[in-house]
Amino acid sequence: MEKMPMDLYVPAHIGIIMDGNGRWAKKRGLPRSVGHSYGAKTFKHMTRYISRRGVKFLTLYAFSTENWKRPLSEVNALMKIFRQYLVDSLTNFREDDIKVVFIGDRSAFPEDIIQLINETEEVAKDRKGMQLNIAMNYGGRAEIVHAVQQLCQETKDGLLQPNAVTEEALSQYLYTAGQPDPDLIIRTGGEHRLSNFMLFQAAYAEFYSTETLWPDFGEADFEKALMAFQQRSRRFGGV
Tell me how far, at minimum, the Cβ of 158 lies from Mg ion, in Å. Answer: 45
Q: Does 21 bind ligand IPE (CB under 6 A)?
A: yes
Give the separation between CA 113 and CA 123, rounded to whole angstroms: 15
Contacting residue, 22, 104, 139, 182, with ligand IPE by CB under 6 A: 22
Which CB atom, from 19 or from 183, has the smaller least distance to Mg ion? 19
Q: Does 57 bind ligand IPE (CB under 6 A)?
A: no
Which CB atom, from 24 or from 229, has the smaller least distance to Mg ion? 24
Q: Does 58 bind ligand IPE (CB under 6 A)?
A: no
Identify the active-site residue in 21, 67, 76, 92: 67
19 catalytic residue (yes or no):
yes
7 catalytic residue (yes or no):
no
In this structure, are residues 108 and 65 in contact, taking their beta carbons and an 8 Å threshold? no
Contacting residue, 19, 143, 206, 221, with Mg ion by CB under 5 A: 19
Which CB atom, from 16 or from 151, has the smaller least distance to ligand IPE? 16
Q: Does 147 bind ligand IPE (CB under 6 A)?
A: no
Q: Does 195 bind ligand IPE (CB under 6 A)?
A: yes
Binding region for ligand IPE (CB under 6 A) out of 55-63, 111-119, 122-130, 231-239: 55-63
Q: Does 61 bind ligand IPE (CB under 6 A)?
A: yes
Q: Does 143 bind Mg ion (CB under 5 A)?
A: no
Q: Does 77 bind ligand IPE (CB under 6 A)?
A: no
Three-state SS annotation for the chain: CCCCCCCCCCCCEEEEECCCHHHHHHHCCCCHHHHHHHHHHHHHHHHHHHHHCCCCEEEEEEEECCHHHCCHHHHHHHHHHHHHHHHHHHHHCCCCCCEEEEECCHHHCCHHHHHHHHHHHHHHCCCCCCEEEEEEEECHHHHHHHHHHHHHHHHHCCCCCHHHCCHHHHHCCCCCCCCCCCCEEEECCCCCCCCCCCCCHHHHCEEEECCCCHHHCCHHHHHHHHHHHHHCCCCCCCC
Binding region for Mg ion (CB under 5 A) out of 11-19, 73-81, 109-117, 196-204: 11-19
Cα 201 to Cα 84, 181, 205, distances in angstroms? 30, 5, 8
Name the site residues for Mg ion (rule: CB under 5 A).
19
Tell me which residues are annotated as active site: 19, 67
Name the site residues for ligand IPE (rule: CB under 6 A).
17-23, 61-64, 67, 78, 189, 191, 193, 195
